[in-house]
Amino acid sequence: MKILPHRYPFLLIDRIIALDPGKIVQAIKNVTINEPCFQGHFPGQPVYPGVFILEAMAQAGGFLVLNSIENPEKKLMYFTGINNSRFKKTVTPGDQLHFEVALDKFRLGTCKIIGTAKVDNQIVAEAEMMASVVDRRN
């Protein structure tokens, strides 16, 4: 929480479990029936939204990138693109998402990160994401 600016209900990472600064991060998200999105997605058949999986992946990538620069508390990361995004299985309450996000490129304040999300060691989603590091307004 010292690095990422997100807070409930939009902080989608529960824990960072491994970090190789500037290279790769592993994080988890415990999906519970108490997630606000399940009120409408979908009543009686809850499915964790794919865009939330991508956002959590991006937050893990944001932690990875911001953790590797000076004064991360003065910076934010904004999505600028998502490529090759695929959803392979549905995620439901009780699942634990395991994210692995690697920094592919980082220059001139723009980065490319590559991430996968797994449940029970099976890939449920993957994506390449672009983002820009910008100054945080205070």
Q: What is the pLDDT of residues 76-122, one digit of tens each?
A: 999 999 999 999 999 999 999 999 999 999 999 999 999 999 999 99
User: Which one of the listed residues 41, 49, 79, 89 is annotated catalytic?
Assistant: 41
12 pLDDT higher than 80: yes
127 pLDDT higher than 90: yes
Annotated active-site residue 6? The verdict is: no
- We find that the CATH architecture of domain 15-135 is Roll (3.10)
Q: For the chain, which residues make up each domain, given as ranges? A: 15-135
5 pLDDT higher than 90: no
According to the model, what pLDDT value does residue 24 have?
98
User: d(Cα 13, Cα 22) in Å, to the nearest integer?
Assistant: 18
Residues 15, 12, 100, 90: is their CA dihedral positive or negative?
positive
